Chains A and B, each alone.
Chain A
């Protein structure tokens, strides 16, 4: 392999990011279960979208 060929370090760099992304995804997925996104209260979040009250402003 030529001294300037960084193929393997680059590929391992990409693999490292794959692994980090995968581990983060696993962590936050488990965390989302603990935080109730899959339970009885899971649908509450969708009503927050209407809680922003800007009705005091003129409606375009």
Chain B
């Protein structure tokens, strides 16, 4: 890859200016965008399989049971977490006023991460699967994930330790929190779970699944939003103190919520009630974050017309509010009795991981890539199109699954309706889901092409 600054540019830099190499950020961002596109194809195929179950015949490698975990793991770890790590490598050195502690260690981490993702593609398609939600990867890939995460953590923590400024901006807090919490969540979910049995095993797994979203993707996603919203709008954050309220309330509240996935299940009532109470308390960090980010944009909303990163960021904040209002509400026993295990849940999960955190990561990528390659974005028009395709497709997808899920739940609660009839009844829902998925995939293609064309395009295309 090209260095991000020429010798002439380095010579023109003011005295004391830091010239970030950004090699690690580049590798993480390019590979994550490529996986977003590749795994997007898998997503469309499994959405099509809901409508045409016989699609692709009986070839074992292409069955729903193998493609679905590949879609989940590919999107979570190949696209989203890798993009978030790439953006952390871009953001943290800038916030600390120093260069990244070790680009060599960063590049080794990027190489190892790619080995893990490619290993995941092969093993999951081959049917090598631990059989646990979000923890499908075989143990040897889990070990490599732990090694890569330690390498990532050392690099970020050492960069922070060498920082120029004493006070740490909230993005640094969330990034460091994510690194520590991920260590705890991942080890428990991928190793401790395997040695437990019965209800305890299920409880540990759901603790992992929910905290994978709440203590891995939420903090790193919010770290990105807290950096790029003020940067893209050129407006200081409304309140740093309020951002600390959000951080600490997340730290103290989130870890207990996983058991709400097992409401009405064979776990003790006190544990169910605790998970409900802590789920409701999640409204505290959520409101602290959403109010802060909305207040930052006060008087600046007109900037959304011109700025694609801001469009993605603020839409992501709205989806964050919606998904985090939904979560506590359907952890209530009465609501849960209807929506649990239905299509409502993937609708909710997609709004969190795609509508919120992927929108943040896309925004960060659109903002950072032209700057670290020192080129103009390949096409503003394509960037706008990618936003609208993802937005409209996403809205169609989420709302269809909520409505369909609720309908499905009502049917399941009526014992006189045979189960197969509830499956047949949902076909129109799944057709809309497929069409919405196609729109989202189109948005992903436009985004990936735009980013790769910017990164790999001719230097002559650079804006002056």
- Seen from chain A, the residues whose Cβ lies within 8 Å of a Cβ on chain B are 5-7, 9-11, 13-14, 17-18, 20-21, 24-25, 29, 32, 35-38, 41-54, 56-60
Residues of B within 8 A of A10 (CB): 192-196, 200-201, 204
Interface string of B243-266 (1 = CB under 8 A from A): 010001001100100000000000
Check A7 against B200 for contact (C-beta < 8 Å).
Answer: yes
Q: Can you list 29 pairs linking A and B with CB atoms under 8 Å apart?
A: A9-B195, A10-B204, A11-B200, A11-B204, A24-B180, A29-B248, A29-B251, A35-B166, A37-B240, A41-B167, A42-B240, A42-B244, A43-B241, A44-B167, A46-B170, A46-B230, A46-B237, A46-B240, A48-B95, A48-B167, A49-B236, A49-B237, A52-B18, A54-B17, A56-B13, A57-B13, A60-B370, A60-B371, A60-B376
Residues of B within 8 A of A42 (CB): 240-241, 244
Which of B371, B375, B377, B462: most chain A Cβ within 10 A?
Answer: B371
Check A7 against B197 for contact (C-beta < 8 Å).
Answer: yes
Closest-by-CB residue of A relative to B256 is A18
- Seen from chain B, the residues whose Cβ lies within 8 Å of a Cβ on chain A are 5, 9, 12-14, 17-18, 94-95, 97, 165-171, 180-181, 184, 187-188, 192-198, 200-201, 204, 207, 227, 230-231, 234, 236-237, 239-241, 244, 248, 251-252, 255, 370-371, 374-377, 462-464
In the bound complex, CA of A1 to CA of B119 (Å):
36
> Which are the 4 A-B pairs with shortest beta-carbon distances?
A60-B370, A6-B195, A10-B196, A45-B167
Which of A9, A13, A49, A54: most chain B Cβ within 10 A?
Answer: A49
In the bound complex, CA of A24 to CA of B114 (Å):
32
In the bound complex, CA of A56 to CA of B18 (Å):
11
Number of A-B contacts (CB under 8 A): 125
> Least Cβ distance of B379 to chain A in Å?
13
State which of B13, B169, B197, B371 has its C-beta within 8 Å of the C-beta of A45. B169
Check B169 against A48 for contact (C-beta < 8 Å).
Answer: yes
Check B244 against A21 for contact (C-beta < 8 Å).
Answer: no
In the bound complex, CA of A42 to CA of B13 (Å):
32
Closest-by-CB residue of A relative to B14 is A56
Residues of B within 8 A of A59 (CB): 463
> Least Cβ distance of A42 to chain B in Å?
5
Closest-by-CB residue of B relative to A32 is B244
Check A57 against B5 for contact (C-beta < 8 Å).
Answer: yes
